[in-house]
A = this chain, B = another copy of it.
Amino acid sequence: MASLSNNEIKRIKALQQKKFRDETGLFIVEGEKMVEEALHSRFEVQSVYRKDEIGEEAMRRISSLSSPSPAFAVVRKPSDTYVGDVSDIASTFASGGLYIALDTIRDPGNLGTILRIADWFGVDAVFATPDTVDVFNPKVVQATMGAVFRVRMHYTDLPSLASTLIESGGKVYGTFLDGENIYSRHLDDGSESPVMIVIGNESEGISKEMSALVSDRLYIPPYPADQPGSESLNAAVATALAVAEFRRRTY
């Protein structure tokens, strides 16, 4: 059985922290299916560790999970995406597209689920404020169920990107408690001009600066429409309902 040195284990474990992921350009992927997806993606897989090769104890030590899975990989972050420079994306605004803009999503599970939604509904890219949780955080990667390898995502200055989109003739949508019923109003479908859906922070909602750039305020009505139970929907659920409604009309 191959063995991992303490130093190697330490180096791998460090990738659970953003600081070391940024320094090395690497991140970790766990689970048989996720490792398979990584190997078949455009991402470069640096190394794969399997329980039957390195042993259960080493697996337990490198894992970020409470019950380590039989497969684990160290993967390189792609260099052409996930960075601040979105000039090439902005240039595609001319041909339309449906985009999600995350205005400070903090919860790893929410970000992972949102990437999975973006993947399912063919969203052209996901943008996020720099203080949104890191997409290469192990909890986010796991929650994406592989969508992390397919969805284009950029951390960038959202207000400036939204302004660029508006200049390209696009529309910026956002959900607000005082918005218009999403099910009964016109929605651009992104086929001719770009469409951005802004998703607000879990407790604070959409920031003041981004709110000012939202041209169309939407509302997902509760049932019965005049009797909301919860005060709000979870951020990932709101994303799913909004994106699904934009897509539903084009099927």
Q: Is A222 an interface residue (CB 8 A)?
A: yes
Please, how many angstroms separate the alpha-carbon atoms of A16 and B248 in the complex?
A: 42
Please, how many angstroms separate the alpha-carbon atoms of A224 and B247 in the complex?
A: 9
Closest to A151 in B: B229
Once A109-B109, A116-B233 are accepted as A-B contacts, the answer to whether A122 and B240 lie under 8 Å apart by CB is no
- Asked if residues A233 and B183 are in contact (CB atoms below 8 Å), the reply is no
A137-157 contact mask (Cβ, 8 Å, vs B): 1 or 0: 000000101110011000000
A113, A146, A229 — which one has the most chain B CB atoms within 10 A of its CB? A229
- Asked if residues A223 and B247 are in contact (CB atoms below 8 Å), the reply is yes
- List chain B residues, Cβ under 8 A from A220: 244
Q: Is A87 an interface residue (CB 8 A)?
A: no
> Main secondary structure on chain A at its contact with chain B?
loop
- Asked if residues A231 and B117 are in contact (CB atoms below 8 Å), the reply is no
- Asked if residues B121 and A237 are in contact (CB atoms below 8 Å), the reply is no
Once A181-B251, A184-B251, A251-B183 are accepted as A-B contacts, the answer to whether A147 and B230 lie under 8 Å apart by CB is yes
Please, how many angstroms separate the alpha-carbon atoms of A117 and B230 in the complex?
A: 8
Q: Closest CB of chain B to A197's CB: distance in Å? A: 14
- List chain B residues, Cβ under 8 A from A151: 229
Q: Which 10 A-B pairs have the closest CB atoms?
A: A119-B229, A122-B223, A223-B247, A119-B230, A237-B240, A121-B223, A120-B230, A120-B222, A113-B234, A183-B248
